[in-house]
Structure 1
Amino acid sequence: MLATLCSLLLLGFGAAAAHPASASATEPAPTQPAALADLLRADPVYVTDQLPRDIPRSTAPQFKKLAQRTKVPTYVLVLPDQGVGADRLLAAVHDRLGRDGLYVLVDDMGVAEATAFGVRAPADDASTVALYELPYDAGPLLSFERFTDVIAQGSEKAAERAEAARQEDAAAHGEEEKLHIDPVDRDNQSFVTGIALSGVPLLVIGLSPYVRRWWRRRVTGVGAAPKAAGPPRRLTARRVEAGAAVLVAGAIALGASLVFGQETADAAPPPTATDLSSRVDRVADGLRKGGPGPVYSDPESPHVLDPAQRRELGERIAKFDRGPVFVALVPQLTEDESGGEPELFVEAVRQKMGAKGDHGVYVVADPLGGSIDVVTYDVRIDANLVAFELPDSIRYGDDDDRSTDHRLGERLDDLMTYLDKAPRTDRPETSSLGMDDEPDPVEENALSPLFSGDFWPGLMVGAVAAALVFGIVAALLGILRLAVPGLRRPRTTSSPSATTSSATTSFEAPPDPSHDYLRRTARDELDALAREFDAADEQSALASAVRTRVWDCLDTATLLADRDPDGHVDDDATPADLAAAVVLARAGRGALVGADKTCCALNPLHGPATGWRDARYAAEDQRLRTIPVCAQCRVLVAVQPRLAHTLRLTLPGARRGERVPYEEAPGPLPAARDGISQLIRQVREYAGVQ
């Protein structure tokens, strides 16, 4: 019996030795977790070569240095976004590797998943801190740095910090912070810099003579005896003003360069040439060594072909008689070396393959996204069929398909059937679309210089704004000369008609006034309207319709701001009610001088509109809408209509720091968009007055 058993064992070993190739041929390729475990076995920190535009592989030493802060065995995988199965992937990698420690998965957004196996490490709290304490565009390296800092603090401090981060995020109400600016932000910075660089120096030069004249009148008074003759000082004063303007311009330019000094649009460090070629070299080497019917499956990605599908695909490729077929199961991401363009990726791989890759059919199947792209080089297949007429069921699959493998095995089999049936051409054709080289990631990520682009329109707007401010200040100084006895010109007296004629239809108001500002302004505007109304009424110069309109404005404004009434603005009046009171008071003042018009749609506090313009009314709405605007707003709208929404009036909300657009505010204020008459009716209904 023993002899028989030994004989059977020897026969078994002999059979196994006689067919080693067939045994290995049936062995399945390593799964994604097994392949990643092998990579971590060689180095506990692995950085993929598939995201060079966001996470260059040359940053691996920095990740290793940060991983040492945790004071526990740490295994780091920097990979493309793995979707919802990130936690299962880490567990599977741990099982294959068989080593306890802190396992961390980092993607292009930051720390995606972290789990501690057999060690004490506050992985969940550290992930929470990295998520909530940093802006969403902080980048993976900074996210991992924050994560390791919290791990090093220990469980107790990590828990406190995580709870504080959650509360701070909840208090922010989901408002997204940014660490880096984008090209639109740079255009805004350039625009503002241009306005300041032209407007402020022009104001210095233009207003100085008026200020000096006002000061002389204030000190000496009109008609005072002249001072003794002396050397002329006008030329010296002008030189000082010019020098001050130059200094101010230099300070603005230098300050803007320092404050707006960011040169890149995100946190990604520039990739090296090796970073950009690493994956192409890896895929080309895999296809070159694949023998007949090469199929290269990216070891870092989910394996979407089982052994049977892979074997069948290889057999189909071997029977294809139009030329060699090369299949690469590799993700195509916007962060990769080709910018997510399969044609560029294929061209780079073909050049790396040398003579073996000069002609053939190149198939790129994305195991993460599920797309299939085909490029042919010098094969007898109609190029248009491959470039433009490949069925969507092959290229993209079914829209309702939710399988993790995207049915790539079946679709690749369908692709081979499609290629087999494609008409044979008389001469080889190429389906490559002849695209340009992939964009340079350094240039693509660079921001335009500060003093370019919208900087030049900003200079023009700044000059216009300086002229507008100059006119306003000159008018105010003229009013002061009439109102202040020491500055009054000879033979000029103050009269009710002068008071009435000084009423303005253009009012200043910020787009984001505070509650205190609204209370002060409501008090001042009510007093001004009552004073000007009385002065005009004493002269009996008002038409009946004008008198009625002004009285309605004064009455309803008082209903909102002084409900007692005790002659004082109520302390408990809401910002919306105070704003509506200011709108009504300024509408009444405008009616006194014949400007009974619709309010400015961007900021009703500016008073009556002076015209209609096309403008972008809301940040979330890209359309241009024709709206009434005042003279102040029209300056910006005429040059930058898409920035008009930055002037829209917002009011303090119920929560601290919250701002509410005026048309969404409670009470009658939103009716200002429909005209003063409608606002008056809404106020009376709101106050319960008929």
Structure 2
Amino acid sequence: MRTQERTADRRRPTARTAPGTALAAAALAGLVLLGTAAPASAADPSAAPSASASTGTSTPAPASTPAPGQLPAEAPQSERLAAELRKDPVYISADLPRVVPRSLAPGFAAAAKRTGVPTYVLVLPDADRTTLAQVHDRLGADGLYVLVGDLGNITVSAFGVDLPAESAARVVNHQVPYDAGPLVQFDAFVDKVLQDADQVDAELAEIYRDHDHETPRAYISSTDRQNQNLLLGLAVVVLPGLLLALGLRLSRRRGGDRTPAPAPSRTVLLGKQPAVTLTKDAEKPKTGPKTGPKPKAPAVKRPQPGRPGQSGRSAGAAPAPLRVGVLVATLLATVAAAIGVVLAAPAVFPQTIDDPDLSVTRADLEARITEAAAALTADGIYQDASAPNPLTTEQLAAVRQRIAELSAKTPVHLLFTSSDGDDESEGDSDTLLAQVRLRTGRDGVYVQVDPVNGYLGLVEFGPVATDVERQFSRADLRYPDRSADSDDLKLPERLNTVLDEVAAAQPTGRTGNSAEGSDLPELRSNKLPPLFSSDFGPGLFLGALLLGVLVLLGWAAIAAAQAVLRARRAAADAPPSATPPVTGPRRLAARPTVRQLRSWAAEDAGDLAVRLATVDQDAPGRARAWDCLDAAELLLGEDGGRTADPSDLAAAVALARAGTDALTGRPAPLLCRTNPLHGAADGGKAPFWFASVDLGPKSARVCPDCRGAFRSSGADRTAADLAARRAEADERLLRVPDPDGRGSTVWHEAGQVLPAALDGLDALILRARESASVQ
């Protein structure tokens, strides 16, 4: 039998039967009433002997006579609990009225009857399986003994009954949420204990196999409700906002794009290139093939093509009208989404309380106060039935002796009971002692001793105050010393020191504490904050920010997709020969002749003019390409560069090359430092040694070809000497032939226009216009 196995494993200080136990308990009570010092710890295995409080006298004071039906403070915890179970098979501690009020006793009793066997229920804040065995020995009755903790955890021992009690308790402790409440936990245990034993054992084995099993909570907290309100604020703004943005996008009529107006044409004649007609407003008039000299362009400001505000960019048509039907549907969907969030919130977040809805009465809150006041009035010492005995019989007798000696000077009242945030005072020892003082009507020093946590509380009540409370605080006796690893709370020694402080207290002349005005804290409402409150406002603000970010991201994605589609459509629609293929830098010669420069300038400028004639008005880089072509034409002059200076021809080649790069997606704010004819300086910074060969500054940049050549030649190596670096730089450095053809000059010293390329393409364009007297 299960009962025999459990009872055989329990330790007892002496062998005895159940009738012998009852006889020993009766004898012990008689000895205590006679004032003897017989140790009661032998009758209770849980009462371990500890150091006795020294009193300075060997004659113990006789115990006061307890109230009828009340056990003396010397009685062990198991005997006190057994006495309570004799009155009622369900005992609920009065220590946690805000979590497990005594008004739940009928519910526990009704559930206990469903087991079909004698069931004894103890609802205690702190106890273990040993307590059940001791209570069974004291009570002397077989049955199902159940211990329910403050969090609802079930501990059970079966004596003389064959039920799967232990397995059922373990299953329930794993399956029922800990915050469901002790009564719900006990109801679930009764349901489980009535099932077949094999079925319960199989369910327990399945739980042990599932190592990741986690019991969900039954209730949410106020913090969870705040998070829900924050989420509702986001949903109320983001969901309707996205629908509105999408509907506005879909309501725009297609085919309403702007149609560029035709622009005046312009013919560019460069060298022997065929006449090419370009569209550009307010530029040179359209001409045919060149037949003779043309008048010099006047020095007037010419409008720049492709820039905002100029006539070269055609005005677009009015925005396309919206689809009224789509717009109305969008507005209706937006309003419906907002209303849907509001109406769905109570169904998605239905919970309204954060713990079991308990009906705690005033009698529940004052139950322990009433018990303590009655015990202090009859005995002078209150020993909580649900708390273990912190002192042995000898130590308690010594404490009684000292209290009797102090009674003439200052009455001392002792309360051995625990404190917790869920008790009637919410863990405030001063409030608890004041309430007890109001019930007893007796002045004196009230001392609370927490047998579980070792906490001591002291309050003095009387017409004249003494310095006992100040001495108590100075002695640092409120909390046990945790500096050592020992778990000994040293309650006898600390209590003895407290009594020493009471004995040494001196009047201060101030009015004492009367305990008036120390009301118990009000019961906390367990209702959660309503929906659409607390963090709902911040949720709206965050939702607006999030909506803005999402709309911007969506607009950017749509714009990028449209740009890609337009580019692909334009490439597919363009004639195969309309745009010459883009090539890399073709002018790599570091020492070109005048004939080469003139040929390159005419060819590159003509190619750029053809490209500009075929690209779209809004094509990227078109405005920069027009600037480059315009500056190159000014340098070449009306004769196509036949009489131009060689340095101007080189500048024209660099400008035409930069314009082509701008159309092909390679804008060139800077040109290659070694040879501006190479184009964009997008190969990175110039080598660190450029300054040593007078090609600085450090901010200079070169093209990819030059950068690769310097690296492959070894000039970038730390061991390379200055002569090798200078030779490598001279090999790639552009030298422009002199006008007389007898020599050459480094490009950054040649002429008036070309050196401006050191400061970038914009400076080169500006210098070219200034040289032609064009503002």
| TM-score normalised by L of structure 2 | 0.54
For residues 355 and 377 of structure 2, the distance between their equivalents in structure 1, rounded to whole angstroms, comes to 37
**CA 1:23–1:461 in structure 2 vs 1: closer, same or farther (change >3 Å)?**
closer
SS of residue matched to 1:241: helix
- Per the alignment, residue 242 of structure 2 pairs with 203
Note the 1:173-322 alignment, pairs <5 A.
177-213=216-252, 216-217=253-254, 238-267=327-356, 269-290=358-379, 294-320=380-406, 321-322=408-409
Unaligned runs of 5+ residues in structure 2 are 1-29, 41-73, 260-320, 583-614, 621-663, 669-678, 686-775
Distance 1:205 1:116, change over 3 A: same
> Secondary structure of the residue that 2:179 maps to in structure 1?
coil
2: CA distance, partners of 1:538 / 1:322: 101
5+ residue gaps, structure 1, are 1-19, 225-231, 502-534, 547-690
Bigger relative contact order (CA 8 A; separation at least 6):
2
Question: What is the alpha-carbon distance in structure 1 between the residues aligned to residue 506 and residue 348 of structure 2?
Answer: 63
Distance in 1, matches of 2:350 and 2:414, equals 46
2:529 corresponds to = 448
> Is the Cα contact below 8 Å between 2:468 and 2:505 reproduced in 1?
no
Quick check: 1:287–1:295 contact (8 Å CA) kept in 2?
Answer: yes
Read off the aligned partner of 2:394 and give its amino acid letter: A
The answer for the alignment partner of 1:329 in structure 2 is 416
- Seen in structure 2, the aligned counterparts of structure 1 residues 386 and 341 have a Cα distance that, compared at 3 Å, is farther
- Secondary structure, aligned partner of 2:382: strand
Amino acid at match of 2:345: A
Residue 22 of structure 1 and its aligned partner are, at CA, apart by 8.6
- Paired residue type of 1:297: Q
Match of 2:460 in 1: 376
Task: Find the aligned partners of 1:537 and 1:272 in 2 and give their Cα distance.
Answer: 83
- Equivalent positions of 1:488-567 (< 5 A) are 543-544=682-683
* Partners of 1:47 and 1:79 within 8 A in 2: yes
What one-letter code is carried by the residue in structure 2 that aligns with 1:285? A
Aligned residue for 1:50? 95
The superposition leaves residues 480-531 of structure 1 with CA deviations (integer Å, 9 ceiling, x where unpaired) of 4445589989x999x9999x99xxxxxxxxxxxxxxxxxxxxxxxxxxxxxx
**Pairwise CA distance, 1:324:** 2.3
Kept after mapping to 1: 8 A contact 2:179/2:218: yes
Deviations 1:226-247 (A, max 9, x none): xxxxxx9866655543343232
Q: Percent identity, aligned pairs only?
A: 33
Counterpart in the other structure of 2:184: 142
Is contact 1:34–1:93 with CA below 8 Å preserved after alignment?
A: yes
Which secondary structure does the structure 2 equivalent of 1:442 belong to? coil
Paired AA for residue 315 in structure 1 = Q
Is the contact made by 2:122 and 2:147 (CA closer than 8 Å) also made in structure 1? Answer: yes
> Structure 1's 485 and 108: CA in aligned 2 closer, same or farther, altered over 3 A?
same
- 2:179 touches 2:355 (CA, 8 Å); kept in 1? yes
1:426 and 2:513 equivalent?
A: no
Q: Distance in 2 between matches of 1:69 and 1:408?
A: 43
CA distance in 2, matches of 1:72, 1:542: 96
Cα distance between partner residues in 1 of 2:356 and 2:666: 66
The residue number in structure 1 matching 2:499 is: 416
| Structure 2 equivalent of residue 127 of structure 1 | 169
Query: In structure 2, which of residues 35, 48, 73 is the aligned counterpart of residue 25 of structure 1?
Result: 35
* Contact 1:482–1:488 under 8 Å retained in 2: no
Deviation at 1:123, TM superposition (A): 2.0
Residue aligning to 2:84: 39
Distance 1:236 1:73, change over 3 A: same
1:346 and 2:433 matched: yes
Asked if the contact 1:343/1:435 (under 8 Å) is kept, the reply is no
- 1:391 matched residue in structure 2: 476
Residue 400 of structure 1, CA deviation: 4.1
* 1:675 corresponding residue in structure 2: none
**Root mean square deviation, CA, Å:** 3.9
* 8 Å Cα contact 2:465/2:511 also seen in 1: yes
Contact 1:381/1:428 (CA < 8 Å) preserved in 2?
Answer: no
Which position in structure 2 is the counterpart of 1:583? none
Following superposition, the deviation at residue 397 of structure 1 comes to: 5.1
Residue 366, structure 1, aligned to residue 450, structure 2: yes
**Could you tell me how far apart the structure 1 residues matched to 2:474 and 2:257 are?**
89
Residues 373 and 395, structure 1, Cα contact 8 Å, conserved in 2: no
- 2:150 corresponds to: 108
Indicate the residue corresponding to 2:193 in structure 1: 151
Distance in 1 between the 2:681 and 2:198 partners? 76
C-alpha distance in 2 between matches for 1:372 and 1:464: 54
Pick closer, same or farther for the CA change 1:537–1:92 going to 2, 3 Å. Answer: farther
Hey, what does 1:641 align to over in structure 2? none
Residue 233 and residue 106 in structure 1: after superposition, are their counterparts in 2 closer, same or farther (change >3 A)?
A: same
* Secondary structure, aligned partner of 1:425: strand
Aligned mates of 1:454, 1:119 — CA distance in 2: 55
Q: Structure 1 residue 362: deviation in Å?
A: 1.0
- The residue identity in structure 2 corresponding to 1:109 is L
With 258-267 and 31-40 compared, the bigger mean Cα shift is at 258-267
Relative to structure 1, is the Cα distance of residues 39 and 22 closer, same or farther in structure 2, using a 3 angstrom cutoff?
closer
Q: Does the 8 A contact of 2:472 with 2:498 survive in 1? A: no
Q: What does residue 306 of structure 2 align with?
A: none
The answer to whether the 8 A contact 1:57-1:275 is kept is yes
Structure 2 vs 1, CA of residues 236 and 286 (structure 1 numbering), >3 Å: closer, same or farther? farther
Q: State how far apart, in whole Å, the 2-side matches of 1:545 and 1:149 are.
A: 79
Q: How far has the Cα of 1:313 moved from its partner?
A: 2.1
Q: Distance in 2 between matches of 1:64 and 1:545?
A: 87
Given that residues 322 and 381 in structure 1 are in contact (C-alpha distance below 8 angstroms), is that contact kept between their aligned partners in structure 2? no
Q: Distance in 2 between matches of 1:300 and 1:157?
A: 35
Taking structure 1 as reference, are residues 277 and 479 closer, same or farther at Cα in structure 2, changes over 3 Å only? same
CA shift in 2, pair 1:238/1:212, >3 Å? closer
- TM-score, length-normalised on structure 1? 0.60
CA contact (8 A) 1:270 1:441 kept: no
Q: Confirm whether residue 462 of structure 1 aligns to residue 507 of structure 2.
A: no
Q: Which of 152, 171, 189 is residue 212 of structure 2 equivalent to?
A: 171
Give the match for residue 473 of structure 1: 554
Are the aligned partners of 1:296 and 1:327 in contact in 2 as well (CA < 8 Å)?
yes
Q: 1:403 to 1:188 in 2, by over 3 A?
A: closer
Question: What secondary structure does 1:296 align onto?
Answer: strand
**Which of the pair is proportionally richer in helix?**
1
Counting matched residue pairs gives 465
Aligned residue identity for 2:169:
S
Cα shift at 1:47: 1.6
**Do 1:181 and 1:265's aligned partners in 2 also have CA atoms closer than 8 Å?**
yes
In 2, the alpha carbon distance for the partners of 1:397 and 1:223 equals 86
One-letter amino acid of the structure 1 residue matched with residue 461 of structure 2? Y
Q: Identify the residue that residue 131 of structure 2 maps to in structure 1.
A: 89
Per-residue Cα deviation, 1:169-207 (whole angstroms, up to 9, x for no partner): x034xx674332223322222211111112222222333
Q: How does 1:605-620 map to 2 (within 5 A)?
A: none
Q: The residue matched to 1:153 in structure 2 has which SS?
A: coil
C-alpha contact 2:468 2:502 (8 A) present in aligned 1: no
Counterparts of 1:374 and 1:422, CA distance in 2: 13
Residues 190/24 of structure 1: CA separation in 2 closer, same or farther (3 Å cut):
same
Deviations 1:214-270 (A, max 9, x none): xx53xx79799xxxxxxx986665554334323222221232233223233334625
CA distance in 2, matches of 1:108, 1:250: 43
Residue 316 of structure 1 and its aligned partner are, at CA, apart by: 1.9
